Structure 1
């Protein structure tokens, strides 16, 4: 039996093939599973609308150091720089004029990283919303926040050499948050936060340090009380980095 990782990779490969075959605006019957949440052709500076909003969510982990993506549906300098960083990270060949534009190759790569529910291929709603065994119980807006959280984790994963990251806690409802010792204003309640644990070849400090380059304003790790066995990351607060054993 194929495991979940292999199934997701096969889904992504099929999506890439479809995306390369025709990148025009898709109808419901023509859209691949990976295109279900967008109908991109190309996107560039000064474009606006839902397509840009979706692009910003998927590239929220590719902003510059100590920056947080503004998801406003307007393709400005921040989005352009995030696209350029994504292109560089995946070795996407573009001309100097095309750098920072979401053209055919960039969109095809994004689709290859997209699962059938518009989440990234290496993370699932199930693993980021264990919620004390209850699964996801939040609102649609919280679920959308959680999807962005997964895309940022996908970017962080790539930046760490494509080494897997384990999610020990993501979305929590108020009861689960209280039972977990979370604060009343915890970003786990909003879907904006994940607790990450390294796998072989990574350390907690690897995660905490690199998260500064992946659009996370909130980082808590080794040396901060209660965070010796995971790294908390969220995209809500601006530069509240607290991992003193990692030098941040």
Structure 2
């Protein structure tokens, strides 16, 4: 007959959920030449490490581990104290997952920071809620890189996603990238707008607009999405 202690232990085993269940399951070491959904996830996470200096380049999220992805991985590894091999093994997996939050957001950014300010959260935009949320997630990862490059200085999001209604209310452009969740207006503690602008040029952002009077920088990834504004705009 099963003892009460054994029965209790069995129940705990059945209901226990590992604390790392939210972390991405990297099932293999990734390197140049690899393909797959795990490569896509990697590309999303290192997209902000697109360049060392101002450059109109970005990391393609296409699931193909090419030279651009490898270079971005090396920059990420170097920034986080790892040997910059460009090969994504357990140590790099751990660093990537350390920047991931349990709810799918990133370590230093929360979903509510990007909610439309009219209370609609991620609804009412030009793409569906699920698409907006995924687009916001990708923006978060680029901002994580920007924050790291700024010496871990706090990044404040003044405006993230905007519903069509809210965008119209605040006088946004009819095809504002905010309506897709691929844009954010930000401030970095201790940084001027011009300094943020130069930093943003290294993070794979294809849309950069300075608002000196208001003290913030607009960043977006317009060239990566088929949303009708697929040309570089650094202004």
Same-fold call, TM > 0.5? yes
Paired position in structure 1 for 2:195: 206
| Partner SS, residue 156 of structure 1 | helix
Partners of 2:27 and 2:221 in 1: CA distance? 26
Output aligned runs, 1:1-248, within 5 Å.
Answer: 32-35=20-23, 37-64=24-51, 65-94=55-84, 99-137=85-123, 138-199=128-189, 201-222=190-211, 228-237=214-223, 238-242=231-235
**Structure 2 unaligned runs (5+)?**
1-16, 224-230
- The structure whose Rg is larger is 2
Classify 1:33/1:116 alpha carbon distance in 2 versus 1 (closer, same or farther; 3 Å): farther
Give the structure-2-normalised TM-score.
0.81
Residue 30 of structure 1: how far off its partner (Å): 5.4
**Structure 1 unaligned runs (5+)?**
1-28, 243-248
Residue 41 of structure 1: how far off its partner (Å): 3.0
Partners of 1:158 and 1:215 in 2: CA distance? 14
Kept after mapping to 1: 8 A contact 2:116/2:166? no
| Partner SS, residue 48 of structure 2 | helix
Kept after mapping to 1: 8 A contact 2:193/2:217? yes
Partners of 1:32 and 1:215 in 2: CA distance? 30
Classify 1:31/1:71 alpha carbon distance in 2 versus 1 (closer, same or farther; 3 Å): farther
Kept after mapping to 2: 8 A contact 1:33/1:117? no
> RMSD of the TM alignment (CA)?
1.9
Give the structure-1-normalised TM-score.
0.77
